């Protein structure tokens, strides 16, 4: 698993995709940072992550769309799938590499925390709980994006489906309040308020595990239909 993670992580940084993701996120994040401070005079690190979650909804596919689609299109999936590595380690390796990029991105957002700390007194505990919740949301998003990527060899299709489903999930509760538990982004609301809610954490983690498993199953099944 480690070898695959290392290679995938390297690929993110060798191809511009990793930089595009981190750069795009931080660019939009800083725009929101400036806008909230100067236009609304709200000085709060955590609340920025509401916008962060919105950004994430749209740019997660940058990380995930190529995961398996590219390998399938180039034929390199033959190389990994005929190696003695198990499917689980392949999937987890790729997942962890994307998660690592996400962690780096979050680490960069601490710059904004440092700026606020210089002028005011933001709470580190709430900031960390927000970052933790945000990371869980990102993991859930990545696992879903990875699953979609394993379904098609066309990266654009993978990207569009991923964003489409994320947006649909976002507005699901508007249809019926019963659909609230399916809206990942709305579940994030509690974290920036300093609440660490077990039910939300469990939902994120189960969602992540579910789609990692589904990815493994898809790859397993493709063996017999390919």
Partner 1 sequence: MIEVKNVSKKYGKFYAVRDISFTIKDGEIVGFLGRNGAGKSTTMNMITGFIEPTEGTIIVNGYDVDRKPKKVKESIGYMPEGTPLYYDLTVKEFVTYMAELKLIPRKERKAAVQKAITETGLEKVQNKLTKNLSRGYKQRVSLAGAIVGDPKILILDEPTVGLDPAQVIEIRELIKSFRKDHTVILSSHILSEVSQICEKVIIIDKGEVVAVDTPQNLEKSTTEKTILRLTVEDENDKFETIKDSISSIKNITFAGTNDDKSKEYVIETDENADIRKEMFSKCAELGVVILEMKKDNASLEDAFIKLVEDRPEYSEKEIEKMEYQKELEDLRKELEDKKEEKAFKKQAKKEEKARKKAQKEDKKASKEAAKKEKGGDK
Instruction: Find the part of the chain contacting partner 1 (CB under 8 A) among 11-19, 100-108, 180-188, 199-207.
Output: 11-19
Which CA distances in Å does 167 have to 42, 119, 185? 27, 36, 9
Q: How far is the CB of 128 from partner 1 (least distance, A)?
A: 35
Q: How far is the CB of 145 from partner 1 (least distance, A)?
A: 20
Residue closer to partner 1 by CB (options 155, 183) is 155
Instruction: Find the part of the chain contacting partner 1 (CB under 8 A) among 6-14, 32-40, 105-113, 135-143.
Output: 6-14
Residue closer to partner 1 by CB (options 177, 223) is 223
- Name which position in 34, 35, 79, 156 contacts partner 1 (CB under 8 A): 79
The C-alpha R_g of the chain, in whole angstroms, comes to: 18
Q: Is 76 in the site for partner 1 (CB under 8 A)?
A: yes
Q: Is 74 in the site for partner 1 (CB under 8 A)?
A: yes
Instruction: Find the part of the chain contacting partner 1 (CB under 8 A) among 74-82, 120-128, 181-189, 207-215.
Output: 74-82
Considering only CA atoms, which of 63, 60, 29, 23 is closest in space to residue 47?
29
Which CA distances in Å does 50 have to 59, 178, 191? 15, 22, 10
Q: Is 7 in the site for partner 1 (CB under 8 A)?
A: yes
Binding residues among 108-127 for partner 1 as defined by CB under 8 A: none
Q: Is 83 in the site for partner 1 (CB under 8 A)?
A: yes
Q: How far is the CB of 180 from partner 1 (least distance, A)?
A: 41
Per CB under 8 A, residues contacting partner 1 are: 3-4, 7, 10-11, 14-15, 74-76, 78-86, 223-224, 226
């Amino acid at each position: 698993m480690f070898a695959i993670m290392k290679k995938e992580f390297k690929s993110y940084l060798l191809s511009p995709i990793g930089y595009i993701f981190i750069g795009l996120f931080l660019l939009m994040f800083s725009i929101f940072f400036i806008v909230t401070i100067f236009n609304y005079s709200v000085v709060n690190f955590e609340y920025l992550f509401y916008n962060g979650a919105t950004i994430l909804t749209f740019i997660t596919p940058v990380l995930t769309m190529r995961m398996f689609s590219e390998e399938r299109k180039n034929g390199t999936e033959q190389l990994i799938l005929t190696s003695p590595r198990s499917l689980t380690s392949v999937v987890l390796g790729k997942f962890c590499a994307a998660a690592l990029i996400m962690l780096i991105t979050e680490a960069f957002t601490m710059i904004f925390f440092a700026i606020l700390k210089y002028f005011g007194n933001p709470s580190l505990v709430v900031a960390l709980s927000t970052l933790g919740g945000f990371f869980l949301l990102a993991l859930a998003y990545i696992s879903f994006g990875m699953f979609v990527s394993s379904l098609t060899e066309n990266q654009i299709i993978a990207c569009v489906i991923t964003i489409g489903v994320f947006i649909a999930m976002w507005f699901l509760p508007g249809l019926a309040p019963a659909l609230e538990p399916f809206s990942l982004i709305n579940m994030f609301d509690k974290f920036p308020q300093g609440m660490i809610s077990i039910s939300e954490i469990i939902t994120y983690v189960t969602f992540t595990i579910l789609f990692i498993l589904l990815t493994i199953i898809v790859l397993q099944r493709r063996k017999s239909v390919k």
